[in-house]
Amino acid sequence: MIKENLKAVRVNIPTDVTLVAVSKTKPIEDILEAYAEGQRIFGENKVQELVDKYEVLPKDIEWHLIGHLQTNKVKYIAPFVSLIHAVDSLKLLKEINKQAKKNGRTIDCLLQFHIAQESSKFGLSFEYAREILESNEFVELQNISIAGVMGMATFTNNEEKIREEFQALENYFNVLKSHYFKFNNHFQHISMGMSGDYQIAIDEGSTMVRVGSSIFGSR
């Protein structure tokens, strides 16, 4: 089924939108099935699971960490992770920078914004993001690259609500782009949209969707 599911999802995604196949909780065999169909970008939300899968799977896979990251765990993924989606503090950015430097790398990060109505511990406010980007400490971070923004809409059937939240994220992206990244082509991604709402997200300007259950089945 994974093969058919993947095909069905791909049909809905324009070629300039990146598909991250979210394989959290799913076994190695499932990932290999998607890999056999040409999928190379996979997303996981837990550090230990990500490391375990990285070790046994083909090395041309691009691994994205999509879940919350604790500073004390950055060191485990710094040698190989290709994009960290959920950066929500200066402290975390500094640690990613430190571990990237140790590994002789530059690590791409997305700033996670809190756009949903639901209260959540995670995600930046727009004001805090601006504070980070304007700080002297941020300027000194040479081993991280901010590749864009990420957010999650409220879990609801109210399509208008979801649409408004994605519009808010796209607006944050545009304002940050014009203020801080005007001449930086690396700042290019809006990571938004999951199985239930990726079509709306694409309508609203998503450049990267994170799709799990529509490909691998329910968890």
Ligand X SMILES: *Cc1c(COP(=O)(O)O)cnc(C)c1O
Contact residues for ligand X (CB under 6 A)? 22, 24, 45, 66-67, 152, 194-196, 210-214
Q: In whole angstroms, how close is the CB of 195 to ligand X at the nearest point?
A: 3
Cβ proximity to ligand X: between 66 and 96 the closer is 66
* Closer of 24 and 105 to ligand X (Cβ): 24
Least distance CB 25 / ligand X (angstroms): 9
Residue closer to ligand X, measured from CB, 67 or 148:
67
Residue (26 or 90) nearer to ligand X, CB:
26
Residue nearest to ligand X (CB): 212
Both tokens assigned to 181: 């990244």
In the complex, least distance from residue 148 CB atom to ligand X, rounded to whole angstroms:
15
Pairing of strands 83-87, 208-211: unpaired
To the nearest whole angstrom, how small is the minimum distance from the Cβ of residue 5 to ligand X? 11
